[in-house]
A and B are shown apart, each in its own frame.
Chain A
Amino acid sequence: MTAETVLRAVAPDAETRAEVLRVEGLRVTYRTEDGDVSPLTNFSLTIREHEVVGLVGDAGSGKSTAALALMGVVRPPGRIASGEVYFGGEDLLKKDEDEVRQLRGKDIGIIVQNPRGALNPMLRVGTQIGNVYRAHNQVGRGDAAARAVDMLRKVGINDPERRVAAYAHELSGGMAQRALIAMALSSNPRLLIADEPTSGLDVTIQAQFLDEMWDTVQETGSAILLITQDLGIIANYCDRVAVLHDGEIVEDKPVREFFANPEHAYSQSIMALQREVASDRTEARQSMHSEAEVTTEAHLVDIAKLTKNFPIRGSDKVVQAVQSVDLEIREGETLGLVGESGSGKTTVGRCLLRLEEPTSGAISYRGEDISGISKRDLRSFRSRMQIVFQDPFDSLNPRWTVGRVLREPLDLHTTLSRAEKVARSRELLEMVGLSPDILDRKPKGMGAGAMQRLNIARALASNPEFIVLDEPTSVLSPSAISELITLLRRLQDELGLSYLFISHDLTTVKYLCHRVAVMYLGQVVEVGTVDQIFNSPRHPYALALLSSHLFPDPAHRRVDHREPDALSGEIPSPVDLPVGCYLAGRCPHATDRCRAEPQVLERLADGRMSRCWRVSAGELEAAP
């Protein structure tokens, strides 16, 4: 902890620091076929020196428009209709284009969501960084190239001399985002605008990146405007929060105050889930059965040695997506399946419903094997197990009305009359909290949250006992997430459903699940109760995943106490996997035995299972 951060944490005189940017009543307008649309109506915000200001808001609230407009840039064919943007005491919007251009990239840097799209696909990364540097500094090509290497090294890229020659498509998302930040910080700007810089990055990478960004900015002394939907990021990195709703700032206060006491109705709605989790903190959802009695009991779903390989076209290699996974799901419980992208968690869910044919392994449902039966026989199981997908919009036939969507499962699995089907459809809509009068509407135009409710209603139509929830909240806004999770929990209580909840968002997992399985590179590395996994993870990967997760709790800010047990390096390719433990290359506790010996999932004394011999041997004790 540096002296400065201590100062920041307690600084009572935040108000007295010098202003970097002050925005007053900014309004941005787009002319469209249906008249003018203003994503930003009345945006006012002040950012002071050394301050990290978080800007939250739903998709479509105008966050990104604001980010651009602060630099006087608007996506064509939009324009800034009114307002003032004071930077260094002068109104940017009154300056001529060339003067403002000098500020952009020099005094104000920006990094954006989708970094690979923001890099020119046809130029080497180093050239692009050099071009930006040369646009603002009187230097030659050679100096600019050297600066590019320096900057890449500074933002944590290994081997920067080689990376400057890479093209955008050759970089991973995390790497591209680092290149972008190298570009943005190359001229030591006074303000860095970071527009959802980590969306699309995996959690362990996200934490690494944000830490590095934070460190770099501490060095250069820039202020940050951090735009995000993720309250975890806000809580862990920001000093102040501004809430953008319908193009207007509706709340603006220090981060702790905000989390303790959100005032605006919208702020309260996005905080709802966090508050529930917080109130639940002491008693995470308990498994209905203690781990000991489990083994003797009949399960709803049993997965044994499930393996799925995807052949690679034009090669005899395979992607080993899922490897010998054993899991069981008990009646009435929610099993959480967590892991980063590429961990195989989604494939497990899809294999379970035979949307993907397993390469090998057995899946049984109430003791009946369903992994080998014909597609025709499988159809009778379809009414009992259902799935809800990640993208609610994509999961609905765009040409169908709500009524037709809901009628399909009823046609397939029931013998109801036409009128009964309509009645049942209305009932289903009410169950998920939608108006029963939307039967004749098309889903287009409904919000993502409402569409996801409709998907849940469709899944419920055939009265299933078990539902696979495949990242159902990942494209939703914070307020929709908390509503959906609350709904899922209510449905479970009312209907006695069992869930397999696949997610990378640990906050929702914690709230919804009874037990959690952590996957890494196609293997389950640890399974246990929510309490075990969240409060005392044992496997080094589970530990790293948990410590990288940014819980929305400003009392335990990541920037105030850095976790020591971070993983290093990149995730190995699922095509060429290591011989021994898959984590050995990144794990701080790895030994020669780890690198040589494949690991097996073993039961520990407290009933959980873990895939690490050192954990089994008691060599790695739970973190205090």
Chain B
Amino acid sequence: MLTRYVFRRVAIGLIQLFGLVIAVFFLIRLLPADPVSRFVGLNSSEEAYAQAERNLGLDRPIMTQLGHYLGVLPGEGEGLLQGSLGTSWVTGTAVSTEIAQALPVTLELLTLAFFFALVLSVPIGMLAAIRPGGAADKGVFVYSLFAGSQPEFWWGLLFVYLFFFTWGVAPAPLGILSPLTSAPPDVTGFVLIDSLLAGRPDVFLEAAHHYMLPVATMVFILSGPIIKMVRQNMVRALGSDFVLYARCAGLPKWRVALYALRAAMAPSMTLIGILYGFMLGGAVLIESVFSLGGLGQYAIRSILAFDYPAIQGVILVITAISLLVYLALDLIHAVIDPRVTF
């Protein structure tokens, strides 16, 4: 049952991804951008232009370009179907290599942010739900509305001004490790893990210190929707007939609370998944403020440089990760709630 469900979900996800890749492929080529002149300059000679166009493969018919990208043209090397994301037009490096370098930072940032956001927000949301309409609830409600509607990049800058410039408790927003620190050997790609594996607590602390502000910024932004959701689900659960009935049946308070908590957590899973997917793309701005060099910044660079293979790669990877996260959370949801069937 379970394996069949997972298999089906993955299969559907792959089809969805494929549709997305095709859509993006045509979309960026239909838009009136001229990557060739971006690379050779506006005042270049016609031959240089034509040469560059040939080098990028943009002189060929669009279907041929697609075939090349997918890797279905005989004798043209590997394409997407063989697992290759192509080569960056800007750096000449394989897109997959570049993404592999950038992705861990983003995942580390997101995972830390989600961890702390959940640890902080879930109790607050539950506290607010105990007495709906009470003073605590009102305060929490206004906070969640506020935090949920803020420009994260501006808060990042504000934190930099306060914590770095004014109070000096945070490092400058210039990446995760200072250029003077030698990076630990690359095992997993995640600095926090690699530094521990290499027995370098100093590097671990330095990276953690650098993550402090970006994570704090993101926690602030995330806390809004999470608190709101936890509160709402908890209020609903506490007001439900079965919680009322559990009280009528004389169950101890702690067990009634447990009934409600479980009922409230189940529907929260879906939203956390959506939020994670959303932030995967939304981390762009925070990464940019703190120069973290993650996937978001890679996306900005590629888009502004009209680096088509890189753009396609980024979208593909982000969507694939989102789909995996959705799947994982749906599975957790099914474990909590027996009504969810495969």
Contact = CB atoms under 8 A, between A and B. Distances in A.
Q: Tell me if chains A and B make direct contact, with any CB pair below 8 A.
A: yes
Interface of A: 68, 71, 73, 75-77, 101-106, 109-110, 112, 114, 117-123, 131-132, 135-136, 167, 169, 180, 183-184
Contacts of A112: 241, 245
A437 B16 CA distance: 59
B336 A122 contact: yes
Given A76-B239, A167-B338, A169-B339, A120 B250 contact: no
B304 interface: no
Interface string B303-342: 0000000000000000000000000000000001111000
Interface residues of B, number: 26
Q: Max chain A CB contacts within 10 Å: which of B240, B253, B266, B338?
A: B338
A105 B263 contact: no
Nearest to B338: A167
A106 B253 CA distance: 16
Contacts of B132: 76-77
B251 A122 contact: no
A139 to B, nearest CB: 15
Contacts of B250: 101-106, 132, 135-136
B252 interface: yes
Nearest to A183: B249
B242 A119 contact: yes
A169 B341 CA distance: 11
A612 B238 CA distance: 52
A135 B263 contact: no
A121 B251 contact: no
Contacts of A109: 249
Interface in B170-201: none
B262 interface: yes
B266 A117 contact: no
B244 interface: yes
B2 interface: no
B246 interface: yes
B248 A105 contact: yes
Contacts of A123: 259
A71 B246 CA distance: 12
B249 A76 contact: no
A619 to B, nearest CB: 47
Nearest to B133: A77
B275 to A, nearest CB: 23
B301 interface: no
28 contacts: A73-B244, A73-B247, A75-B244, A76-B132, A76-B238, A104-B247, A104-B250, A110-B245, A110-B249, A117-B240, A117-B242, A118-B241, A119-B242, A120-B246, A120-B263, A121-B263, A121-B338, A121-B339, A122-B263, A122-B336, A123-B259, A131-B255, A132-B249, A132-B251, A135-B249, A135-B255, A169-B338, A184-B249
A114 B242 CA distance: 10
A102 B240 CA distance: 22
A136 B244 CA distance: 18
A77 B133 CA distance: 9
A119 B263 CA distance: 12
Contacts of A120: 242, 246, 259, 263
Nearest to A103: B250
Given A102-B250, A131-B255, A118 B239 contact: no
A105 B240 contact: no
Nearest to B248: A110
B241 A121 contact: no
A73 B241 CA distance: 13
A123 B336 CA distance: 10
B138 to A, nearest CB: 14
A167 B336 CA distance: 13
Nearest to A67: B248
A68 B248 contact: yes
Contact of A135 (B240, B251, B266, B339): B251
Nearest to B253: A101
B130 to A, nearest CB: 10
A114 B245 CA distance: 11
Q: Max chain B CB contacts within 10 Å: which of A75, A76, A114, A136?
A: A76
